[in-house]
């Protein structure tokens, strides 16, 4: 179906692999549209409970935008293309299911921004992260100036974006940009284990928890607490809540149905 990525589903987990290894999996305009199509397929498939992103090869998750295409950007094209890419990355961030970025190498520019749009990020020891756009006379346009400070804090986000310095896996772990570093050959297995752990929980509780945490930086504390209380109450009205409590009291494993 796709030229620049692969998409498959196995055991309820969707796997999207950026497949442009000759260009270190850089983001071209055609890949943006394929990402949108693949994510829409995930949205339409109730059988998919988790989604994992990774890159083809062993060097790069996504090493930024396609510089050949970037060369032709002017104001009008730049506005149109960044708006479109933000739309696609927002679609990923707003999925009702959690997503995992399994970062197998360079995550630079648009690649860092794709990872930032995911719910959870893990990486290999060789991974490198950066926002190098100022080196090209531009600034990030696909979400880094907004999502990066929300995840690693104002100071380090400013440092990465203004200096264009790359950070390594250990630094990313210390900053909370990733939550786990795993050996290169175990990356997808580790991502799958996390996915299956989340899938063992009640689906609606996972969705509501993801929604609530995602709103934490979008609103005031009082409004955020209101959202949390409402979603907690909504979870209390589910069959899975009754099953979870009964299973706990009966000291048995719960059987969740997503209802």
**Has 186 been annotated as catalytic?**
no
Q: What's the start-to-end Cα distance of the chain, in Å? A: 33
Calculate the alpha carbon distances from 86 to 83, 89, 101, 245 in Å: 5, 5, 17, 40
Calculate the alpha carbon distances from 28 to 42, 63, 88, 118, 245 in Å: 21, 11, 13, 19, 49
3-state secondary structure of 171: helix
Helices (H), 94-143: 110-117
pLDDT, one tens digit per residue, over 6-55 is: 999 999 999 999 999 999 999 999 999 999 999 999 999 999 999 999 99
The pLDDT assigned to 1 comes to 82
The pLDDT assigned to 136 comes to 94
The CATH architecture assigned to 203-249 reads: Orthogonal Bundle (1.10)
pLDDT, one tens digit per residue, over 159-203 is: 999 999 999 999 999 999 999 999 999 999 999 999 999 999 999
Residue 65 in contact with residue 81, Cβ under 8 Å?
Answer: no
Average confidence score pLDDT of the chain: 95
**Has 113 been annotated as catalytic?**
yes
Report the alpha-carbon distance of residue 4 to residue 38 in Å, rounded: 11
Report the alpha-carbon distance of residue 57 to residue 60 in Å, rounded: 7
| Residue written as token pair 């989604």 | 51
**Which of 156, 149, 202, 178 lies closest to 61 in space, CA to CA?**
178
Residue 189 in contact with residue 140, Cβ under 8 Å?
Answer: no
Question: Whole-prediction pTM value?
Answer: 0.95
Q: Identify the active-site residue in 113, 126, 186, 246.
A: 113
pLDDT beyond 90 at 238: yes
The pLDDT assigned to 168 comes to 98
Report the alpha-carbon distance of residue 49 to residue 171 in Å, rounded: 30
pLDDT beyond 90 at 70: no
Report the alpha-carbon distance of residue 49 to residue 44 in Å, rounded: 11
pLDDT beyond 90 at 150: yes
Q: Identify the active-site residue in 33, 34, 133, 165.
A: 133
Residue 128 in contact with residue 81, Cβ under 8 Å?
Answer: no
Report the alpha-carbon distance of residue 62 to residue 18 in Å, rounded: 7
Class (C level, CATH) for 5-199:
alpha beta
The pLDDT assigned to 69 comes to 86
In the chain, domain spans: 5-199, 203-249
């Amino acid at each position: 179906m796709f030229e620049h990525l692969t998409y498959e589903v196995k055991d309820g987990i969707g796997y999207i692999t950026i497949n442009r290894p000759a260009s270190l999996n850089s983001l071209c305009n055609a890949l943006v549209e394929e990402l949108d199509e693949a994510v829409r397929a995930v949205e339409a498939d109730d059988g998919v409970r988790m989604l994992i992103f990774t890159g083809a090869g062993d060097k790069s998750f996504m090493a930024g935008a396609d510089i050949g295409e970037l060369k032709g950007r002017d104001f009008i094209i730049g506005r149109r293309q960044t708006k479109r890419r933000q739309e696609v990355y927002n679609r990923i961030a707003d999925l009702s299911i959690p997503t995992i970025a399994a970062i197998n190498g360079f995550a630079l520019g648009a690649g860092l921004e794709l990872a930032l749009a995911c719910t959870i990020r893990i990486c290999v020891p060789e991974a490198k992260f950066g926002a190098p756009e100022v080196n090209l006379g531009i600034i990030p346009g696909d979400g880094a100036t907004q999502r990066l400070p929300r995840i690693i804090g104002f100071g380090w986000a400013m440092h990465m974006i203004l200096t264009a310095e790359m950070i390594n896996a250990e630094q990313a772990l210390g900053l909370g940009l990733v939550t786990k570093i795993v050996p290169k050959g175990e990356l997808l297995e580790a991502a799958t284990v996390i996915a299956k752990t989340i899938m063992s929980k009640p689906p609606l509780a996972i969705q509501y928890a993801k929604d609530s945490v995602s709103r934490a930086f979008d609103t005031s504390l009082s409004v955020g607490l209101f959202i949390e209380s409402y979603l907690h109450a909504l979870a209390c009205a589910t069959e899975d809540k009754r099953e979870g409590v009964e299973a706990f009291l009966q000291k048995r494993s719960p059987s969740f149905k997503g209802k």
